[in-house]
Structure 1
Amino acid sequence: MSHSTKLSININKFATLRNSRGGNNPDVLKAAIDAERFGADGVTVHPRPDERHIRYQDVRDIRKKITTEFNIEGNCSEQKFIDLVLETRPHQVTLVPDALGQLTSDHGWNTIEHQAYLTEMIGVFKKAGIRVSIFVDPVMEMVEGAAKTGTDRIELYTEGYARKFENNKEKAVAPYVAAAQKAKELGLGLNAGHDLDLYNLDFFSKSIPWLDEVSIGHALVCDALYLGYENAVQLYKRQLA
């Protein structure tokens, strides 16, 4: 039986657009429901403390309406975030080491330095029956450290791959393949995300065919402006076929 990598759509950009004008256009809840209707395997949200895009109430509303997999990303140093995750019980929580006010996620956890903390927090979520993934750079020691925290999965931070892809795609993907192989050896599930798009996704997914899930937001929403939302979802799904 062939393995199929799942596509989770990060709908934060819909919320950014809504919040820039006020009101409820575009409707973020509808964006989540439509992602599911158009064929996505999951919906991802990343609420931040300032609620500059996804609001905490959005998360509650979406959880009640979608039936596909729900993934909440965020920084578990915020008690408000922990409470929200435990309240809404998503299928997966992805722990990201964001600083307060950070524009976007730009690095993975130091799983050695923060091992005790991550082990504690992962235990909290797993006790509630929530699958846990943690953001990790494609560094062997960080993958090995992640395995010691008790996490179910890691999410490889792929900005470095995307940046170097055009110059030398084989060289760009090499550290990710090595990290992915190590994760597989250690029994960790594998997700990936950040700056993956229609141009670089196919090569990445074929290089790591056991990849469980990719989370894509910014590029897909940008493509949807030109191609249409439903068409964009389908085009991304084809890159993972």
Structure 2
Amino acid sequence: MTRYFIYLSYKGTNYHGWQVQNNAVSVQELVNNALSILLKHEVKTVGAGRTDTGVHAKNYVAHFDSEIDNLDNNSRFLHSMNRILPHDIVIHRIRKVKPDANARFDATLRGYEYVISRSKDPFLLGLSWQYDAKLNIENMQLAAQQLFNYSDFTSFSKVGSDNKTNNCEIYKADWQVNGNILMFNIEANRFLRNMVRAIVGTLIDVGRGKITPEEFAQIIEQRDRKLAGTSAPAEGLFFTKVEYPEKVFF
């Protein structure tokens, strides 16, 4: 068997996240089906991580195994995959990797961005949180920097999650302003379920003056999801990157 990484993007509006669901359509289900049709054997992909219902991905990675060993950069196969898949899922590349490479467990960094449109914009509908309240961006930036001081993010974890640990190492967290677009970028070694949306929702509370940057830090310290803000809507969130060590590649 040959193992491959498959690189893809998707608009998550029509899907119940990446992960296969019993009674709902997911991105993983459609990718598995397309691969199985073309390869003529059952394929089950393993993704770099979950994405919630409605969340998008610009650069997502999964792995799968096949008895066929000539899929590496096979343009005809890529073309066939993209013809089978719906318009809101696109495959960019298929790359041969080491037999024990794992898209989930070998990832050393994952990145997300959250997009807020500060004005009503029909062209960003479904691809941003359209939120026009006045915000103190400086305080939001100060609060975001507090994330570097902690590793336990239970306060931003979905209640009832079966995580073995709620510890994450944050590598990047900042806000960028471009006209009417406000974007939050965050990178870490791993993320908890609903973590980014909970962080953004709580940072918005800082921007609105409901809590201070210091109180944002205290919320992290309390390790209690009920103290954090409401999760930001899914449509503004994009999975943007995932990185792997060179040892997984040939």
TM-score (norm 2): 0.29
Greater helix percent: which structure?
1
Greater relative contact order, per chain length (Cα 8 Å cut-off, separation 6+)? 2
Greater strand percent: which structure?
2
Larger Rg: 2
TM-score (norm 1): 0.29
